[in-house]
Chains A and B, each alone.
Chain A
Amino acid sequence: AQSVTQLGSHVSVSEGALVLLRCNYSSSVPPYLFWYVQYPNQGLQLLLKYTSAATLVKGINGFEAEFKKSETSFHLTKPSAHMSDAAEYFCAVSKHTGTASKLTFGTGTRLQVTL
C-alpha cells in the first residue's frame, strides 16, 4: 500500500525566511507525488507534481520540491516566505487504477508566516 508521512503538523516561519515542509513516501512502485495547498475555506490547488521526469520540480508561487529516491522524500521548499503563503499544505501519492487515480494524502502541514 502507498502512503505519505508529513513531519510536523504545524510550521511557523518569519516572512522572508526559508520554507521547508517535509514529506516522506512509501510505495512499492515508482511513485507519482503531488503537493497541494488549501487556503482557508477553499478547495485544494495543485502546487507541483513529480512524474518521474526531472527530480527537481518547480511549481507555482515560487515553490519547488526535490524527489530523493534514496531518502524516499519529496520535501517542499520556498526560498522566501510571504504572508500569502499561510495555508495548509498536503503531500499526496497517486496510485493509478486505469482511468482514475487514487490520491492518498498525508495529514497536512499548516504553515504560519509571521512578520
Chain B
Amino acid sequence: DTAVSQTPKYLVTQMGNDKSIKCEQNLGHDTMYWYKQDSKKFLKIMFSYNNKELIINETVPNRFSPKSPDKAHLNLHINSLELGDSAVYFCASSQGGGTETQYFGPGTRLLVL
C-alpha cells in the first residue's frame, strides 16, 4: 500500500548511457514532481506535472525529459548520462498546490561511473 513508489531504488551506470526512473502514486493526486538531492543533501525541484501537463520546468539540462502517461505516473528519462548526474532523485505528489502537502517517494540513488 505504498503511497509513492519509485523504481529502481539503485541505479549504477556508465557515462553516456540513457536511463529511466519510474514513479507511481496511488494517492489519487493530480500533481507530481521530480526533485534532485545532491551529495551535500541539497534538494532542488526539477519538474512538476498536473494531470499530465507540465507546470514547473526548472533550469534543467534538456538531457532530462519527464514523461507522464497518466496522472498517477511520472517517469524521468535521462540521456547521455554525465558524472554530475549522480544524485538521489525523489518523486513526490500532492493534491494541487499552495498549502497541499507533498508526499515523497523513497528515492532512486543514481551513480554514474
Please state if A100 and B31 are interface contacts (CB–CB under 8 Å): yes
Cβ 8 A contact of B56, one of A49, A102, A107: A102
Cβ 8 A contact of B45, one of A90, A99, A103: A103
Please state if A105 and B55 are interface contacts (CB–CB under 8 Å): no
Given contacts A49-B99, A100-B97, A102-B56, contact A43 B105 (CB under 8 A): yes
Q: Which of B66-113 contact A (CB under 8 A)?
A: 90, 92, 94, 96-107
Judge if A101 is at the interface, Cβ distance under 8 Å.
yes
* A64-103 to B contact mask, C-beta < 8 Å, 1/0: 0000000000000000000000001010001011111111
Please state if A98 and B55 are interface contacts (CB–CB under 8 Å): yes
Judge if B25 is at the interface, Cβ distance under 8 Å.
no
- In Å, the complex CA distance between A101 and B33 comes to 9
Q: Chain A interface residue count: which class?
A: 20 to 34
Interface size on B, residues (CB 8 A): 32
- Chain B hits for A46, CB < 8 A: 101-103
* A21-39 to B contact mask, C-beta < 8 Å, 1/0: 0000000000010101010
Judge if B63 is at the interface, Cβ distance under 8 Å.
no
Given contacts A43-B90, A97-B56, A99-B30, contact A49 B41 (CB under 8 A): no
Please state if B102 and A101 are interface contacts (CB–CB under 8 Å): yes
- Chain A hits for B105, CB < 8 A: 43
- Residue positions of B touching A, CB distance < 8 A: 4, 30-31, 33, 35, 40-45, 48-51, 55-56, 90, 92, 94, 96-107
Contacts A44-B104, A88-B41 supplied; 16 other A-B pairs, CB < 8 Å? A38-B41, A43-B107, A44-B90, A94-B99, A96-B98, A100-B48, A100-B50, A100-B96, A101-B31, A102-B48, A103-B35, A103-B102, A105-B43, A107-B40, A108-B42, A108-B43
- Residue positions of A touching B, CB distance < 8 A: 32, 34, 36, 38, 41-46, 49, 51, 88, 90, 94, 96-105, 107-108
